[in-house]
Amino acid sequence: MKRIDKSPTDKNLLESMRDNALGRNDDIVGFVGMLDEMEGGYSLCVDGPWGSGKTFFVKQVEMLLRHENSNLMDSYKELEGLAGRKDPPEPKARQDYLPIYFNAWDVDTFPDPLVALVGTMHAEYPKALVHGLAGSSAGDLLGLASGVVDLASPIVGLANPLAGFATKIAAGITKSIGKVAKSFGTKSLIKSFDDRKNLESAIDKYVDALLKDTGDRLVLFVDELDRCEPGFALKLLDEMKFVTRNDRVIVVYSTCLSQLEKAVGNFYGEGFDAHRYLSRFFDLPPLHLTRVDGGRYLRLSGHFNADSTLVSNQISEIIDVKSLSMRDTNRVISEIDSSRRALVERPSSSLITFIEDQLFPIAVAIQLTGKELNWHEMASKGDFGPLWKYTEDLHLFSTNSEMIANSALPASSSSSSSTDVWDYLNLLCACLFSADKEADKFESKFYKYMPEYDSIHSADRSLFSRFRY
């Protein structure tokens, strides 16, 4: 089985952009164009639900920025002439960007976000350079980074991890706790104010050093903020003001705002306006990702061959109509493909095709996307009303299910009522979803419709066994 749930490696990112598998190349190009228009420091938010492909998107933007900056080492032939970038802006409008990706969730157990950010910047920066970073330049940059952390440490109450080993850090934390315990007098408040101004100045110097001979502006991609411990996430947002005040810095947060709002609301308590609170950290309204084109994504996944048109069309309809996230799409495609490959070859029929290419994919999608349907209860009653409710807006399924039912009803019936159709479909599902003993009573009723079912039920009942537990 070919794995489809890909991690955002350079290879996977490039393949996705080369084929425009997610249908977001225009969005990537448009986002970079928006950066070109910005003057001064900016703070942006890319909003999307979990699993919608936010990390893929920001890492692809990061890759394009690196590709277009001749001062950096990364150049990708796959991105040459990317749609919309064939005629780049005039030289004066074009800016070179130094992009750095920061996964906040990876470090949310660290005492202070700002220190973790500086550490990440210092670690990632040399990897982007054409000739690396060595000699006096490396020492100078480390000195500036350490200076930032030195100033941040008294403010946030921890030691400088760039200045020594764990024993020094532990000693620094102990010492800081003692300082925090003291009451603040006027002199302490003035010193605290001075420390913050000095910290801002140190960050400016560090940013200038990072951008020397590498670019015009620094773009920080802060990802997974909504997954962080709430206290850490709030502290990070608050401390980023020291960074975003710099006119040469753009910060891009990629997060699920609804989840972040819930975390912030729970942190501060009932009645707190988390939406309004968070909006003050962003200079523009949240940017929302284009929904993945289900049909295109499925075709490029390479999972279903030319003989699988119906199942591909049905899965595409589920993805598009039910607005499946990229993560859910990957899970559904992989699971359906894996299960279908386990089926034995046997003579086909319209009923078998309907069961395997339409009914089964829908049941899998329901199960994997967290929809709460009690399969056992529906099967024992022989009433699958909630399933039919889910499929109401799936036109392809609705059309074919009615056609299958009508073709199976007795030929003596001049016309079949909707009740006849639903009776047939409920019996069909009861035979497939029920446990063996329960299925017997439904199968005896089902024979009057479709005797051929007796020859296929063992294979397809096995396909649906996952829904009996």
Over residues 255-269, the pLDDT tens digits come to 999 999 999 999 899
Considering only residues 21 and 415, tell me which one the structure prediction assigns the higher pLDDT: 21
Q: Same structural domain for residues 100 and 115?
A: yes
Q: What is the 3-state secondary structure (H, E, C) of 390-433?
A: HCCCCHHHHHHHHHHHHHHCCCCCCCCCHHHHHHHHHHHHHHHH
Predicted pLDDT at 22: 83
The residue from 266, 288, 310 where one domain ends is 288
Identify the pLDDT of residue 417: 67
Q: Are strands 217-223 and 287-288 parallel, antiparallel or unpaired?
A: unpaired
Beta bridge partners of 250: 42, 219
d(CA 360, CA 367): 11
Task: Find the helix or strand (DSSP H, E) in which 47 lies.
Answer: strand 42-47
Specify the pLDDT at position 132. Answer: 46
Q: Kindly state whether residues 283 and 337 are assigned to the same domain.
A: no
Kindly report the CA angle at 112 between 111 and 115, in degrees rounded to 5? 125
pLDDT at 170 over 60: no
Structural domain contains residue 3: no
335 and 227 housed in the same domain: no
136 and 35, same structural domain?
yes
Asked if 258 and 371 sit in the same domain, the reply is no
What's residue 444's pLDDT? Answer: 64
Q: What is the mean pLDDT of residues 85-108?
A: 74
Asked if the structure places residue 31 within a domain, the reply is yes
Is the same domain home to 421 and 387?
Answer: yes
Give, rounded to a whole angstrom, the gap between the first and last alpha carbons of the chain: 25
Mean pLDDT (whole number) for 384-406? 91
Alpha-carbon distances, residue 378 vs 23, 348, 387 (angstroms): 38, 27, 9
Mean pLDDT score of the chain, rounded to an integer?
Answer: 77
Note whether residue 386 is domain-resident: yes
The single-letter code of the amino acid at 438 is E
Would you tell me how many other CB atoms lie within 10 Å of the CB of residue 75?
A: 13
Choosing from 288, 308, 327, the residue where a domain stops is 288
Average pLDDT rounded to a whole number, residues 137-147: 56
**Is 50 inside a domain boundary?**
yes
- As for how many domains the chain has, the answer is 2
Residues 224 and 302 in one domain: no
Q: 84 or 339, which is more confident? A: 339
**Mean pLDDT of all residues in 5-9:** 75
Whose tokens are 């095709």? That residue is 353
φ, ψ (nearest 5 deg) of residue 350: -65, -35
Quote the radius of gyration of the chain (alpha carbons, Å).
Answer: 29
Task: Kindly state whether residues 128 and 149 are assigned to the same domain.
Answer: yes
314 lies in the same domain as 243: no
Report the distance separating Cα 325 and Cα 390, nearest Å. Answer: 17
In this structure, are 309 and 219 located in the same domain? Answer: no
Of 30-34, 135-139, 194-198, 459-463, where does the model show the most confidence? 30-34
Looking at the chain, the whole-number percentage of residues with pLDDT higher than 70 is 71
CB atoms within 10 A of CB 325: 18
Residue ending a domain, among 259, 288, 317, is: 288
Report yes or no on 426 lying in a domain.
Answer: yes
- What per-residue confidence (pLDDT) applies to 419? 76
User: Are 230 and 306 found together in one domain?
Assistant: no
Question: Is 5 inside any structural domain?
Answer: no
**Is residue 90 over pLDDT 80?**
no
- pLDDT above 80 for 239: yes
If pLDDT is split at 50, 70 and 90, which confidence band does 386 have? very high
Strand partners, 72: 129
Coil/strand/helix, residue 249: strand
- The pLDDT score that the predictor gives to residue 457 is 56
215 shares its domain with 325? no
Domain extent at residue 104: 10-288
- Cβ 18 vs Cβ 78: under 8 Å: yes
